[in-house]
Structure 1
Amino acid sequence: METNEDAIHPTAQQARAALADTERVRASAASLSATPWPRWFAITLTLYIAAIPPVYGGTLASPQWLLPNLVWGVIMLMMTAAYMVLFTVAGLNWRKKTGVALRFDVLPKRATVPLGIGLPTLLVGSALAFRASREPLWLLAASTIGAAVSIAFHLAFVRMHRKTS
């Protein structure tokens, strides 16, 4: 290994080794931050996604369906507030456990972009289809598909994390 009389400046070989170490640390941090949610949050998220179509369908129903529209709206607000609190708790617990904040930018775009477009379209579209047709099967189908997608993505991210760690 080359030596450098001026100890302040590293040699080219030392600089390359330091960059390689930095890259390994960066890859490790990205892998940790892409780790799936805790199991309890994945279950909560799946239940939340499954509940959105009937609740949102109830808010859009004309005339009211099962409950007054205002009650459906309050239920939706309470569900969303509870989800936000649990999302925050999961993120803080993950950061405390690993020292790395949860980040969405490290997840593969080929999976997250279709999810980000498809899932809201499915959930909102089913409520609109229910309003137009008065057929609750739209809501049941959207709940089932949404829950299946949530579970599938969680399992895919578990597998992705295992491959990188």
Structure 2
Amino acid sequence: METNGETIRPTAQQALAALAETEQVRASTTALSATPWPLWFTVALTLYTAAIPPVYGGTLAEPDWLLPRSTWSVVLIVMTAAHAALFAAAASQWRRKTGVALRLDVLPKRVTIPLAIGLPAVLLGSAFVFRATGEPLWLCAASVVGAAVSVAFHLVFVRLHRKATA
């Protein structure tokens, strides 16, 4: 530092305090960048996951169930497009916040592979069981399971990232 042509050096205590403050800022930044997508997206994803069974079940219902099949198909298309747009917004927000792209491939395989196989089987399988039995209880049960898995996955994701930054 220079003042009036003189160089002033910080004392050892000032330098240590500055380093400690820098480390605290770095830890805070790391924790911030490690948090998952925003809460609003978690809520939207959970609602989307819970809505898939009844909407998909409505598209497969024979005869029409509650609404015409074409209406269910339009709802499914609009719902999927809205989810894609919200996912893009959340990924963009993540990139602005952390400076890195949202990459789902870095998540632990022990968590994501069972989720990638099991959740679609439950959500879509319930629609086929509903079509075969005509019993909407399957759709309701799959919605509850889907919402619970969505929230649980988010909490596991948060825990894994906190553990990685600690």
TM-score by length of 1: 0.79
> 2: CA distance between counterparts of 1:92 and 1:104?
14
Counterpart of 1:8? none
Counterpart of 2:37? 37
| Alignment length (residue pairs) | 136
> 2: CA distance between counterparts of 1:48 and 1:115?
16
Counterpart of 1:84? 84
Q: Percent identity?
A: 65
Alignment of 1:115-154 (within 5 A): 115-154=115-154
Deviation, structure 1 residue 47: 0.2
> 1: CA distance between counterparts of 2:130 and 2:148?
20
Deviating runs (4+, > 4 A) in structure 1? none
Alignment of 1:99-118 (within 5 A): 99-118=99-118
Deviation, structure 1 residue 35: 3.8
Deviation, structure 1 residue 106: 1.0
- Cα distance per residue 1:6-54 (max 9 Å; x no partner): xxxxxxxxxxxxxxxxxxxxxx99x94x642111100000000000000
Bigger Cα Rg: 2
- Cα distance per residue 1:87-116 (max 9 Å; x no partner): 000000110111011111210000000000
> 2: CA distance between counterparts of 1:36 and 1:137?
33
Alignment gaps of 5+ in structure 2: 1-28
Letter in 2 for 1:50: A
RMSD: 1.6
SS class of match (1:121): helix
> 2: CA distance between counterparts of 1:164 and 1:92?
23
> 1: CA distance between counterparts of 2:109 and 2:90?
22
Letter in 1 for 2:155: L
> 1: CA distance between counterparts of 2:117 and 2:35?
22
TM-score by length of 2: 0.79
- Cα distance per residue 1:115-163 (max 9 Å; x no partner): 0000111111000000000000000000000000000000011111111
Counterpart of 2:157? 157
> 2: CA distance between counterparts of 1:113 and 1:35?
21
